[in-house]
Amino acid sequence: MKVLVTGGAGYIGSHTTLSLLELGHDVVVLDNLCNSSAESLRRVQEISGRNVEFRQVDLLDVEALDAVLAEFQFDAVIHFAGLKAVGESVENPLAYYQNNVVGTLNLLHGMDRAGVRTLVFSSSATVYGASEQVPLHEDEPLNATNPYGRTKEQIEDILTDLGAADPRWRVALLRYFNPAGAHASGRIGEDPRGVPNNLLPFVAQVAVDRREKVTVFGADYPTPDGTGIRDYIHVVDLAVGHIAALEFLTSRNGVFRWNLGTGRGSSVLEVIEAFSEAAGKKIKYEFADRRPGDAAISYADPAAAQDELGWSADKTLAQMCEDQWRWQRKNPLGYSEVG
């Protein structure tokens, strides 16, 4: 298949591009590099020994977007491009609605004009909001609690309406839980700009002495050790999940939604412990107040993806930490330290 990957230079996009190439698909990446570096794609080519066409294009630039859709005959699009920082979305909601919702509308119009109507979309477990009906099933009502999450919910609605209006569309809405880890080569991984918002990259930066200690947000949750529980999923398992969804859509019209998670929860302290084990060193942490908006417990019911896609996330928390540590240790400053 010839696949357009929007946001393909980013964390999950670069790993998915690599998996696509390894399976023999042809990939064109469209990314404006607002939160990534083209170095990730150079390394994806190096690991796979295959070429990736790259177009530095913003989804808000309709003309440039249409030019890419006209240049190639795509079979499908995997759509990662978007802004993803919850706190930033609260401070600057218009930028999030503009980039994520308008960017996606531009993409959908362009795809329709080009006659490409197969799409895999990066949704998020964030659409479940603070629901603690664990394990979270796809039928759980959506109730995002911040502008970022609402962009995902709105895009899910838009795609559901589109599929109902035009049965030629084939759409997978993939609700990721907490992506973590890196490719086993240690050559590609997550490279957050500024202070990481997410737990794993923060812990990794403490382990590599870029930061002094981890702040654990809340020690008084109703969980066995008092810290928040999440469903961490290895980014390579996640990448493979996209390809399973793409394959499913080759024979099915309609709009489908799947949780991509492991179905297992780990607490913040368990993550710090697993990372200490992988890095072979103690990781300093201190307790602080809960972070506003955080749920106590969130983990997936992954049965639907398992039954319908034949996919499951098998890599353990220990593997995520080992791989993330290898990436961080080899690239302490991420891609800015080119090598």
Answer whether 30's CB lies under 8 Å from 6's CB.
yes
Report the site for ligand WQD in 176-205 (rule: CB under 6 A): 178, 197-199, 202
Tokens (6 digits) for 39? 């170095």
**Least CB distance from residue 282 to ligand WQD, whole Å?**
17
Residue number of the CB closest to ligand WQD reads: 228
Task: Characterise 249 by phi-psi region: left (phi > 0), alpha (psi -120 to 50), beta (else).
Answer: alpha
* Exposed / middle / buried, residue 338 (Cβ in 10 Å: 0-12, 13-18, 19+): exposed
φ, ψ for residue 79 (rounded to 5)? -110, 95
Q: Using the rule CB under 6 A, is 223 a contact of ligand WQD? A: no
Binder of residue 59, out of ligand NAD, ligand WQD, none (CB less than 5 to 8 A by kind): ligand NAD
Strand duo 266-267 + 229-230: pairing: antiparallel
Helix (H), strand (E) at residue 76: strand 76-79
Tokens of 287: 């307790």
Closest contact distance (angstroms) between CB of 324 and ligand NAD is: 13
Is residue 11 among the annotated active site residues? no
Beta bridge partner(s), residue 122: 174
Interface residues with ligand NAD (CB under 6 A) are: 7, 9-13, 31-36, 58-60, 80-84, 99, 103, 122, 124, 176, 179, 198
Neighbour-count burial for 275-294, b at 16+ CB within 10 Å, e otherwise: bbebbeeebebeeeeeeeee
Name the residue nearer to ligand NAD (CB basis): 57 or 269: 57
215 binds, among ligand WQD, ligand NAD, none (CB under 5 to 8 A by kind): ligand WQD
From the list ligand WQD, ligand NAD, none, pick the one residue 7 interacts with, judged by a Cβ distance below 5 to 8 Å according to partner type.
ligand NAD
Convert residues 227-266 into a mask of x (bound to ligand WQD by CB under 6 A) and - (unbound).
-x-x------------------------------------
Q: CB-wise, 22 or 225, nearer to ligand WQD?
A: 225
Binding-residue total with ligand WQD (CB under 6 A): 18
Amino acid letter for position 25:
H
Q: Which listed option, ligand NAD, ligand WQD, none, makes contact with residue 327 (CB within 5 to 8 Å by class)?
A: none
270 binds ligand WQD (CB under 6 A): no
List the interface residues with ligand WQD, window 55-114 (CB under 6 A). Answer: 84, 86
- Residues with Cβ within 8 Å of residue 94, at least 6 apart in sequence: none
59 Cα distance to chain centroid: 18
- For residue 26, the one-letter residue type is D
Return the axis-axis angle of helices 11-22 and 235-249, rounded to nearest 10°.
Answer: 60
Query: What is the residue type of 164?
Result: A
User: To 5 degrees, how large is the angle CA 2–CA 160–CA 88?
Assistant: 85
| Residue 217 touches which of ligand NAD, ligand WQD, none (Cβ within 5-8 Å per kind) | ligand WQD
Q: CB under 5 to 8 A by kind: which of ligand WQD, ligand NAD, none does 34 bind?
A: ligand NAD
Q: Catalytic pick from 96, 128, 148, 335?
A: 148
Query: How many other CB atoms sit within 10 Å of the CB of residue 175?
Result: 25
- In this complex, which beta carbon is closest to ligand NAD, that of residue 97 or of residue 287? 97
**What is the rounded distance in angstroms from the CA atom of residue 139 to the CA atom of residue 165?**
21
Interacting residues with ligand WQD (CB under 6 A): 84, 86, 124, 126, 178, 197-199, 202, 214-217, 228, 230, 268, 291, 294
Active site residues: 148
